[in-house]
Amino acid sequence: MAPLVAGLGYDWVIGQVGKCIEELVALVHPGTAVAGLLLRPTSPAVPTPVTITCGSGDALDHISEASVDAVVMDPPYYDNVMYAELSDFFYVWLKRTAGQVVPELFTRRLTDKENEAVANPAKFAGQRGAKALAGRDYQERMARIFAECRRVLKPNGIMTLMFTHKATGAWDALTKGLIEAGFIITASWPVNTEAEGSLHIKNKSAANSTIFLACRPRDAAAGQGGTSYWEDVEPLVAAAVRRRVAEFQNSGIGGVDLYLASFGPALEEFSRHWPLRRGTPRAKPEAQRRQRQTTLLQEEYDPYAVTPEDALDAARREVKRWRLDQLGQKQAKGELDPLTSFFVLAWDSFRAPVFPYDEALRLARAVGVDLDTQVVGVLGEKAGSDLCLWDSARRAAKSALGAPDGSRAMLDALHHAAHAARIKTLAAAKEELDTRGLLAEPAFRQALQLVLEVLPVGRDFSGVALDGDLAAASGDFDALENLRRLALVGQVPEPKQLALWADAA
């Protein structure tokens, strides 16, 4: 945050902390509280007894078995934040203030790093594969925490769990622990947790939603049989996503959030059928192998194993199909080629030319392209932990434009045309397309329509000048839209996104 912005900086924080404390106090004093869903006004004079403890979630020794109605958890997400390390800064000061009131919570010299459930390689400093060891440590700790929650929860109890957008790699580890601890996911709700912001102004992508999962002890759910086969369950997972995706989109969830929101219904269906195995063995996926090396320890590969990541993959594929249909593939009836699909869906979901490489890997898998060999060096480059997509000029400068007839991917033909329009003239670009017979080619027209729905609109049509890589991509939008108006009006519909800029143009 920007701490000094009036009304949104420290003063906002202090106001919020005060508000939270007031609301917590009100909860235990029902008489003074405004009656709401959670508050049952009983005897106003008697505060509800509250016990607060501070300890690790995998050792709730003070709570007996099957005694709790609800567990509400906002768990740590893999290596997102190193809470304990950050807390040391405050701990030493709190010890001298709050420590006077609750000395039993401040007996340590510094905070407890050992029992923290985060993937922290520093815990394994000096050991081989520290990063992988840290990943496994996180996974095991979270599994123990879920198992402990399962122990204390009543058979008809409920656990709600928040899943943040960051570190989607943690989803697999978390849901595996959750399902193996004996929970099924019975509902999921995406909740917008960050201000919308102006996505096209920032260069980098961001997601806005947190997913709330409602989980129940498995025994409480009827109809549990033996092992099910993934081949039977996968279509059910896809159907579950299909049923919800339109609803999510209509309630304003878009971009990468739409993929995240789809994980809820996918995991609901998946956990209902657990345990799962494959009927036919699967070859070790190359991308997964590479990715696993950096995150989790290499474990013996089981070609029949099914993991929550399978459900997430199925969800991504379903959302991919849905989005391409929404952007115009349905009317065209043909399938867009994989590379152009990757480009369209990357812009559609991240709305920025730079986004996390891990997310790009997952999208590539859903689309059926190999990121390292077919995308990197062709459509963009790896920059640290991000993928950066190139515009037509960058691709031309890197001699990466490919065949101008679109024989590898229609995006190549589009970028050749955009580049010609930008460095020569619109007429020259049109003539080149005409000579290659592309203007009459349905696959070219379809690709043009979809790309024009996702690239950022440039100054010619929005009146707004963008910066950096976004400006470069918007240059392609302007070139291609001008070309459409010159050569394909009537054949390729006007981009729907232009309606947003109707007043500005």
Ligand X SMILES: C[S@@+](CC[C@H](N)C(=O)[O-])C[C@H]1O[C@@H](n2cnc3c(N)ncnc32)[C@H](O)[C@@H]1O
Positions touching ligand X (CB under 6 A) are: 56-58, 74-76, 83, 115-117, 141
Minimum CB separation of residue 264 from ligand X in Å reads 18
Pair of tokens at residue 78: 């893999």
Q: Kindly write down the DSSP assignment for every residue of 164-198, as one continuous string.
A: -SS-THHHHHHHHHHHHTTEEEEEEEEEE-S----
Burial of 263 (0-12, 13-18, 19+ CB in 10 A): buried
**Residue with Cβ nearer ligand X (141 or 422):** 141
Report the alpha-carbon distance of residue 174 to residue 140 in Å, rounded.
Answer: 10
Judged by beta carbon, residue 74 or residue 194, the one nearer ligand X is 74
Please, what is the angle between helix 308-324 and helix 230-250, to 10°?
Answer: 50
Residue (117 or 369) nearer to ligand X, CB: 117
Is residue 201 within 8 Å of residue 352, measured between CB atoms? no
Decide: helix, strand or coil at residue 349.
helix
User: Is residue 292 within 8 Å of residue 298, measured between CB atoms?
Assistant: yes
Residue 56 Cβ vs ligand X, minimum distance, rounded to whole Å: 4
Residue 6 CB, shortest distance to ligand X, in Å, is: 24
Rank residues 141 and 317 by Cβ distance to ligand X and give the closer one: 141
Least separation in angstroms between CB 162 and ligand X = 7
**Given the DSSP bridges, would you call strands 276-277 and 228-229 parallel, antiparallel or unpaired?**
parallel
Where do we find the tokens 């950022």?
456
Q: How far is the CB of 80 from ligand X (least distance, A)?
A: 8
Shortest approach of ligand X to residue 14 CB, angstroms?
16
Can you list the positions of beta strands (E) in 218-326? Answer: 228-229, 276-277
Q: How far is the CB of 116 from ligand X (least distance, A)?
A: 4
Q: Which pair of structure tokens corresponds to residue 126?
A: 């000096």
Q: Which is nearer to ligand X, 91 or 461 (CB)?
A: 91
Q: Least Å distance between CB 117 and ligand X?
A: 4
For ligand X, the closer of residues 77 and 270 by Cβ is 77
Distances (CA, A) of 222 to 216, 281, 471: 12, 30, 55
Q: Please report how close the Cβ of residue 143 comes to ligand X at its closest, in angstroms.
A: 12
From 371, 491, 377, 497, select the one nearest 438 (Cα to Cα). Answer: 491
Nearer to ligand X, 119 or 366 (CB): 119
Burial of 10 (0-12, 13-18, 19+ CB in 10 A): exposed
In this complex, which beta carbon is closest to ligand X, that of residue 75 or of residue 135? 75
Using DSSP's 3-state secondary structure scheme, residue 211 falls into strand
Min dist. Cβ of residue 58 to ligand X (A): 6
Length of the chain: 505
State the Cα–Cα distance between residues 33 and 39, nearest whole angstrom.
8
As measured in angstroms, the least distance from the Cβ of 76 to ligand X is 4
Q: Residue 38 or residue 499: which is nearer to ligand X going by CB?
A: 38
Q: What angle do CA 409, 412, 417 make, to 5 degrees?
A: 140
DSSP string, 369-420: --IIIIIBTTTEEEETTEEEE--HHHHHHTT----TT-SS-HHHHHHHHHHH
